[in-house]
Chain A
Amino acid sequence: MSTPLPHEAYAAALAGLPRMTPLRLSVLLRHLAPDEAFAVASGRDSAVAGSMVSKLLGDAELRGMWAAGSRSGSPEAVWQRCEQLGIAVSFAGQAHHPVAATTDPLPASVLFSRGDRGLLEGRRVAVVGTRNATMAGRSMARELGRGLAYSGVNVVSGLARGIDAQAHRGVFVLCDESPAAARGGAIGVVASGLDRVYPRENRDLWERVATEGLLLSESPPGAEPFAYRFPLRNRLVAGLSEIVVVVESRERGGSLITATLAAERDIPVMAVPGIASNRAALGTNGLLRDGMPPVLDVADVLLALSLDHTRCTPAVYEHRAPPRPSDLATYRACREQPQTIGDIAQHHDVNLLMAAMSLARLEQTGWIAQVDGWYEAVGSPMR
């Protein structure tokens, strides 16, 4: 071997061992340096008798699997892969390893990252929510992402479909509008390896977060997005944030898991209220009933962060032409809840032709948008 491998290589290889859990990893790395820990885990060295590590290795089956795993996933191979992909590794004990990750009840002892690790030093707010979001929810997530980035707060999210993706897209909307105004960045925390893009439809966002923001994962390159990794990812989203904002959530779901995990860690949880009949708001409304503070706009989040909220959103120039007076009733109905053309025609007692014209005018001017025949108000509401 020409140059000795860095400690990070051994840490990365440890994280990739079969049946490695955050708890086992933290036991190994709490007492041993990564190279020592790897030697013990692979069975080449023996652990100090009576230590936690030797208790861990008392399990013969686990010992066998780790020994086999350390041969197939050698530190050299893992490190080479990380360097190829431009993935940085940090482990517990290093100065730049996030404190929040080490002090967590379930610590993240090894982290893989792409992008700017400095973002973890700044203010961080998680914006999470359901994958099956309404247009209103998506729009809200985008607004929050944009507003937080403007106020210099980094947006943490899971890069999932729906709310998660929209929160980050909001950050980049601001970046595209005025790069100087975007003082906050995007921190994506994902469940799979950093080379395994999931979901595929967010490829562009994934790449953009990795290059312009920070992409974090506990899993080594090549790790598949297995279901068990997602709750672990959620604890990291919660743990790395100062506040968790849930935009839309059903009665059960990943974002409520994130909220629970945050509450367990004494991290404030806030929720965006929705209409009671909206299924995508059942979870968030439940959080509000349980006493979590509501988020009506980005100022609420900034207040909770004790930040100046008076100039929290970039001035929005309303480029949309105001709706005709005759279309106002249609617009208001769409703002309340999603409407079909039949609803509009029936409730406002107009014929379908008039309803179609009204919807077409509003859609063309950008006040409403259509998904599968349903119309919802989008963008900032008319003042």
Chain B
Amino acid sequence: MIAAIASATLLGATGHPVTVEVHVGNGLPGFQIVGLPDEACREARDRVRAAVLSSELVWPNRRITVNLAPSSMRKGGSGLDLAIAVGVLVASDALGTRCVEGLSFIGELGLDGSLRSVPGVAPMVACLSDHEAVVAPSSWNVAAAVASKPVHIADSLAQLVTALRDGMWPDVRVPILVADDPFQPDLADVRGQPEARAALEIAAAGGHHLLFVGPPGSGKTMLAQRMIGLLPPLDRATALEATMVHSAAGGRLPPSGIISIPPFRAPHHSSSMVSLVGGGSHNLRPGEISLAHGGVLFLDELGEFASSVLDSLRQPLEEGVIRVARATWHATMPARFLFIAATNPCPCGGGPPGACECDSTATQRYLRRLSRPLLDRFDLRVGVKRTSADDLMRPGGGEPSAVVRERVTLARERSMRRNGVLNAAIEPALLDACAPLTDAAHNMLRVELEASRLTGRGYHRVRRVARTIADLATDDVAVVDESHVALALQFRVPLGIDTRREAA
């Protein structure tokens, strides 16, 4: 007898449908899986056999061949266990073919027959849109959030077989819906730091990448964490993409099953390139930049990251996706994130003029780790200094995130209405149309350009930032004036060898 069961496998952050074909025939008793299974997948043999036997079902002592079609694609992980077990049962006539029509099965089996969830349920269920999926109970919320058809659950293989025979599915114990909005750090906790607060607001409103430059202990990490509270919730498409990525990475998903709060990822500076951009030798995992999709990627101590790691960020920063290719496969994963980084101005941390301990060779060596092209990606480079005692001990906090978020949302709406994109993504050719300048503002930029304090690329960036600053004003500003440009220029702390020498 032959059975064909629908299931799926995961590559990167996308699911691919897999048909599990099971043939139970005459010959020496045996159990074989073909169709490019990886190690975890091949081990399904032992798990499936034990699970069937411990569920008090009959294991056919005949020759069993499992083919995972399409057989040219590599299959990984243990998510095909359940489909293989169901296939064996159908092929050995323990279950009728009718019972499994229109169903797909995704899950790992324990030796006792229990059903376990696997990473990547969301993309796998999503790619099987014309099937009703059967998943482990703990995957239900995620699967239901992305599926277009009903999603069923079962605790164990035995329960599943009963349900399939009777056509009666166990009730879904809908998890108590706690709000997805867990505690978010609030900007009201930040004392002082007016320019850093403004920079966060501008970055959130215009989608500008942001670099904090300041001594240790000046609150760069604290500020970056508060970016999430300023961003509007993810739109449906981005939320789905983010959910797929997080599910594929096996990360924890919110109770609603879908990620609606922009994610915040802060990988440590010892992270490898693969962990950041994604990849891996036998199962392709999304990297931190994909996990930050729609949200914030925060790299603290930017200079401590390996320079190859940092340079690998340049392509995704431009394109919003990361293409990972290996000899036998390649995958494209979403990676559109707001990039926030923090660095010390020099090895000792710097401070006001005259406070730095470092000689210039040490400083140059330190800053050389940050490549010029990478630094150019930051529209905003902001100096952060330690909060003074007065500010720290003053009662009452600053403006709360909710108030700032309202301005950010308004500015985002204005820019979307005008440009169709956030200000950071305005094409240079459209700048004159989207961000016209007053004569005074024009002259101010000309002076900067002529003093070669501004490069051609920097010029466009300043204009985009100035546009965002204008959008954040209370009333709708059509033309960018000199105060907006002046403030945009303030947010370009010269960092790096070239500018420092000029300043001496």
Q: Which residues of the partner chain B approach A356 to less than 8 Å between Cβ atoms? A: 483, 486-487, 489-490
A359–B495 alpha-carbon span in the complex (Å) = 19
A256 to chain B, nearest CB (A): 15
Indicate if the CB atoms of B503 and A353 lie closer than 8 Å.
no
* Stretch of A107-115, A257-265, A336-344 lying at the B interface: A336-344
Q: Which residues of the partner chain A approach B196 to less than 8 Å between Cβ atoms? A: 342
Indicate if the CB atoms of B483 and A353 lie closer than 8 Å.
yes
A280–B355 alpha-carbon span in the complex (Å) = 7
Q: Name the one of B447, B486, B495 contacting A372, with C-beta atoms under 8 angstroms.
A: B495
Q: Which residues of the partner chain A approach B345 to less than 8 Å between Cβ atoms? A: 372
Contact of B397 with A by CB under 8 A: no
Contact of B273 with A by CB under 8 A: no
Indicate if the CB atoms of B198 and A352 lie closer than 8 Å.
yes
A134–B352 alpha-carbon span in the complex (Å) = 9
Contact of A371 with B by CB under 8 A: yes
A198 to chain B, nearest CB (A): 11
Q: Name the one of B353, B357, B487, B490 contacting A134, with C-beta atoms under 8 angstroms.
A: B353
A360–B490 alpha-carbon span in the complex (Å) = 9
Q: Of all chain A residues, which has the CB nearest B488?
A: A356
Q: Name the one of A131, A357, A374 contacting B352, with C-beta atoms under 8 angstroms.
A: A374
Interface string of A352-374 (1 = CB under 8 A from B): 11101101100010000111111
Q: Which residues of the partner chain B approach A338 to less than 8 Å between Cβ atoms? A: 352-353
Contact of B385 with A by CB under 8 A: yes
How extensive is the interface on chain B, given as a class?
35 or more
* Residues A342 and B192 in contact in the complex (CB < 8 Å), given A353-B483, A356-B483: yes
Indicate if the CB atoms of A340 and B483 lie closer than 8 Å.
no
A227–B146 alpha-carbon span in the complex (Å) = 68
Contact of B104 with A by CB under 8 A: no
A372–B495 alpha-carbon span in the complex (Å) = 7
Contact of B484 with A by CB under 8 A: yes
Indicate if the CB atoms of A352 and B194 lie closer than 8 Å.
yes
B218 to chain A, nearest CB (A): 11
Q: Of all chain A residues, which has the CB nearest B350?
A: A372
Residues 99 to 155 of chain A near chain B (Cβ within 8 Å): 130-135, 137
Q: Which residues of the partner chain B approach A371 to less than 8 Å between Cβ atoms? A: 353, 503
Indicate if the CB atoms of B194 and A342 lie closer than 8 Å.
yes
Q: Which has the most chain B C-beta neighbours within 10 Å: A279, A356, A374, A376?
A: A356
Q: Which residues of the partner chain B approach A199 to less than 8 Å between Cβ atoms? A: 360
Indicate if the CB atoms of A340 and B195 lie closer than 8 Å.
yes
A248–B357 alpha-carbon span in the complex (Å) = 15
A369–B453 alpha-carbon span in the complex (Å) = 13
Contact of A290 with B by CB under 8 A: no
* Residues A353 and B484 in contact in the complex (CB < 8 Å), given A364-B447, A373-B213: yes
Indicate if the CB atoms of B493 and A372 lie closer than 8 Å.
yes
Q: Which residues of the partner chain A approach B490 to less than 8 Å between Cβ atoms? A: 341, 352, 356, 359-360
* Residues A131 and B503 in contact in the complex (CB < 8 Å), given A279-B354, A372-B350: no
* Residues A374 and B353 in contact in the complex (CB < 8 Å), given A353-B483, A356-B489, A360-B444: yes
Contact of B356 with A by CB under 8 A: yes
Contact of B501 with A by CB under 8 A: yes
Residues 130 to 183 of chain A near chain B (Cβ within 8 Å): 130-135, 137, 161
Q: Which has the most chain B C-beta neighbours within 10 Å: A130, A342, A376?
A: A342
Q: Which residues of the partner chain A approach B489 to less than 8 Å between Cβ atoms? A: 356, 360
Contact of B469 with A by CB under 8 A: yes
* Residues A279 and B487 in contact in the complex (CB < 8 Å), given A342-B192, A371-B503: no
* Residues A372 and B383 in contact in the complex (CB < 8 Å), given A353-B487, A357-B482: yes
Q: Which residues of the partner chain B approach A373 to less than 8 Å between Cβ atoms? A: 213, 382-383, 493
Q: Which residues of the partner chain A approach B114 to less than 8 Å between Cβ atoms? A: none
Q: Which residues of the partner chain B approach A131 to less than 8 Å between Cβ atoms? A: 359
Contact of B254 with A by CB under 8 A: no
Contact of A80 with B by CB under 8 A: no
* Residues A354 and B483 in contact in the complex (CB < 8 Å), given A201-B501, A341-B195, A342-B193: yes
A354–B198 alpha-carbon span in the complex (Å) = 13
Contact of B458 with A by CB under 8 A: no
Q: Which has the most chain A C-beta neighbours within 10 Å: B213, B469, B486, B494?
A: B486
A to B CB contacts below 8 Å, 29 in the list: A132-B354, A132-B356, A134-B354, A137-B354, A199-B360, A278-B354, A280-B353, A280-B354, A338-B353, A340-B195, A342-B192, A342-B193, A342-B195, A342-B385, A345-B194, A345-B195, A352-B487, A352-B490, A353-B483, A353-B487, A357-B482, A359-B486, A360-B490, A371-B353, A372-B350, A372-B495, A373-B382, A373-B493, A374-B383
